[in-house]
């Protein structure tokens, strides 16, 4: 039981590292075709970028299935991926982009830092020159401001309001 719990926790940590790399080099690279929708105003409940969540959910479901068919510890790795997906939905889709039926803007602590870091990620138009690619890990805001300044010599060029955080924002 303890080993299974450790596998789930380790998978959650690994998924954040994997997500940072995938966000920076896949989503802002050759996968921009899907991810671009996330950096544009949203007009409905869904965006093309949500296809990434479906792909990762499919992998997690397959791992859980193979694990329950006797291929230990795949079910626990799939459970860790699922737990990461829930945390992603709460922190990223809910807190930052307000895809929930209620809105909350954090005023202090790590939630505020996470919120600010991701909003700074969206401060740049297009896929180049963005900062903060984590979904659950956020570097200090001062560090991100320095990186943006170094990359763009001040305010990001072509800056526009960040992608819509709610359906009302997109209207």
> Are 28 and 35 contacting, i.e. CB atoms less than 8 angstroms apart?
yes
Q: Is 19 exposed, middle or buried (0-12, 13-18, 19+ CB in 10 A)?
A: buried
Please give the C-alpha separations between residue 27 and each of 32, 76, 107, 151, in angstroms, as whole numbers: 5, 26, 29, 19
Query: What does the angle CA 126 – CA 129 – CA 134 come to, to the nearest 5 degrees?
Result: 95
Domain extents in the chain: 2-96, 109-170
Please give the chain's pLDDT, 171 residues, in tens.
999 999 999 999 999 999 999 999 999 999 999 999 999 998 889 999 999 999 999 999 999 999 999 999 999 999 999 999 999 999 999 999 999 887 899 999 999 999 999 999 999 999 999 999 999 999 999 999 999 999 998 665 554 445 545 444 433
**Which residue in the block uniquely carries the two structure tokens 């900062």?**
131
Model confidence, pTM: 0.88
pLDDT in tens, 105-151: 999 999 999 999 999 999 999 999 999 999 999 999 999 999 999 99
């Amino acid at each position: 039981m303890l080993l299974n719990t450790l596998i789930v926790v380790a998978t959650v940590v690994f998924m954040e590292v994997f997500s940072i790399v995938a966000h920076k080099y896949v989503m802002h690279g050759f996968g921009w075709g899907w991810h671009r929708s996330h950096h544009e105003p949203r007009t409905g409940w869904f965006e093309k970028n949500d296809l990434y969540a479906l792909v990762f959910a499919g992998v997690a479901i397959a791992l859980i299935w193979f694990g329950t068919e006797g291929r230990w510890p795949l079910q626990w790795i799939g459970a860790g991926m699922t737990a990461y997906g829930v945390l992603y939905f709460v922190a990223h889709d809910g807190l930052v982009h307000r895809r929930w039926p209620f809105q909350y803007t954090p005023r202090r602590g790590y939630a505020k830092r996470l919120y600010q870091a991701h909003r700074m990620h969206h401060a740049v138009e297009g896929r180049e020159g963005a900062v903060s690619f984590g979904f659950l890990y956020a570097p200090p805001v001062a560090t991100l401001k320095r990186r943006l300044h170094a990359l763009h010599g001040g305010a990001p060029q072509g800056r526009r309001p960040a992608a819509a955080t709610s359906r009302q924002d997109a209207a």
